Structure 1
Amino acid sequence: MYSDTFIRGMRLKRDQVPSFEEYPFHLPSINTLTELVLHPNVTFFVGENGMGKSTLLEAIAVAFGFNPEGGSLNFNFSTYNSHSVLDEYITLIKGVIRPTDGFFLRAETFYNLATTIEELDRAPGPSPRIIDGFGGTSLHEQSHGESFWATFIHRFRGNGIYLLDEPEAALSPMRQLSMLSRIHDLVGEGSQFMIATHSPLLLSYPGAKIIEFTDEGAQETTLEETSHYQIMKQFFDDKDRMLHYLLK
């Protein structure tokens, strides 16, 4: 395993799991899981809906110390306690160094995070505004995509651990390509990424480790072997034929 990284991997405490028939342990990504080795720079989790990739990413984030709804390591809020107990059944294998920055960014709870930032900034006190670390403009006063982008550009400072859950949900294809460039800059500054995604554009990051979750479990793969890439390629190689089949 890599030693010069923040999280080298994780293990599932299979002997402590109460039942593999119940959530979240019945999910394909968890049911057969023993151990995952993560890339020191960028690891992608990919798979169809319901395979458990976001659940696993959330568990890694919570086990590392992040709030289940996202934010930096010092964020502590909860609008709805919906995260699984998986974090209690995994062991993180950490490297010898520690990050100086970190963020858990997830699409489905980003609104709650933005609201919490505004509430904290309204509280009296001499501390600098939290929003200044996100570019200075209220995240609620920007489009969903622009607020995501502002967070990614301004709040991610390098030498950090960054976990992103489906960030493409708010980003145009052009922004996703720009995101690749930003990821590369941050990797050059000593950062590590774990990203759950459906985007073949993001999956194209050179040298990344791609772990695909299927009904058979989790296994390492390549961009070209993922179902996401193959479906997109088939569609654009013969769009009319596929549309005819789908719409007949």
Structure 2
Amino acid sequence: MFLREIIKMTDKIQHHDQYPFNIPTIRSLDRLSFNKNVTFFVGENGSGKSTLLEAIAYQCGFNTGGGSRNNQYDLESSEARLGDCIRLSWMPKVNQGFFLKAETFYSFASHIDKLAEEDPSLYRYYGGKSLHEQSHGEAFVSLFKNRFGQRGIYILDEPEAALSPQRQILFLSIIHELQKNAQLIIATHSPILMGYPNADIYNFDSIPVTRIGYKETEHYQVTRRFLENREFYLTEILEE
């Protein structure tokens, strides 16, 4: 484990009433510690988990549109104002790793294609061919299997977005191999992924953010109740 703690530097924030500083979880954040090689951020959309994840990536020097320290390309939607207002505590500091942002993965894949025009051998890190020539799920798995693996920190924002349930289960084995030599911080809605054993789960639906047990997460409880009582839920939801 490399990243030990995030500290919010409140004195650097000029406009506490503006986004993203007015997000309740970000406003209440003082510091967040990391005690496991695998940490999950969970919560509803808009709860601040992806915002904090992007700020961590920014402080790591990764492209906030997705990639590593070596991937430099412009993406107008990528900004990390929060990143200038947090400090990361390391032991030891690492510079290797990757930031995966599912919603901007297309732009990252296009960036790799441009680089490969001069050096086609780059595709060896992405399954041997353009990510655009693979299905969305195949491209994600190619990235995980070929680009990840170095000692470092891997920051993943909703990696399940392109993965079928079967591939999510496969990804659990990839997480297990990576965490032997790396640290992973993952924002997810997937009860399959957050089921990885002995991981820390931070609940962003709680103010302040708190650790939560796997079976206490809303994702697990809602999924379990639906699968166990499918007919009841469908009747309640669909009846006119």
TM-score range, shorter chain: over 0.9
Distance in 2, matches of 1:20 and 1:238, equals 44
Q: 1:59 corresponds to which letter in structure 2?
A: A
| Alpha-carbon distance, 1:21 to partner | 1.6
- Runs of at least 5 residues in structure 2 that lack an aligned partner in the other structure: none
Q: 2:8 corresponds to which letter in structure 1?
A: L
Distance in 2, matches of 1:225 and 1:61, equals 28
* SS of residue in 2 equivalent to 1:130: helix
In the alignment, what sits opposite 1:183? 175
Q: 1:19 corresponds to which letter in structure 2?
A: H
What RMSD, in angstroms, separates the aligned Cα atoms of the two structures?
A: 1.4
Contact 1:28–1:214 (CA under 8 A) maintained in structure 2: no
Contact 1:51–1:215 (CA under 8 A) maintained in structure 2: no
| Alpha-carbon distance, 1:16 to partner | 2.2
Match of 2:217 among 210, 218, 226: 226
Between 127-136 and 236-245, the greater mean CA deviation after superposition: 127-136
Alignment of 1:141-156 (within 5 A): 141-156=133-148
In the alignment, what sits opposite 2:79? 83
In the alignment, what sits opposite 2:26? 30
For the pair 1:106 / 2:101, whether they are aligned, the reply is yes
Contact 1:28–1:213 (CA under 8 A) maintained in structure 2: no
Distance in 1, matches of 2:186 and 2:206, equals 20
Deviations 1:180-207 (A, max 9, x none): 111111112x110000000010001111
- Runs of at least 5 residues in structure 1 that lack an aligned partner in the other structure: none
Match of 1:66 among 58, 62, 68: 62
| Alpha-carbon distance, 1:244 to partner | 1.1
Contact 2:94–2:153 (CA under 8 A) maintained in structure 1: no
Seq. identity, %: 46
TM-score normalised per structure 1: 0.92
Match of 1:192 among 183, 186, 190: 183
TM-score normalised per structure 2: 0.95
Distance in 2, matches of 1:177 and 1:61, equals 25
| Alpha-carbon distance, 1:94 to partner | 0.8
Distance in 2, matches of 1:79 and 1:158, equals 26
Runs of 4+ in 1 over 4 A off after TM superposition: none
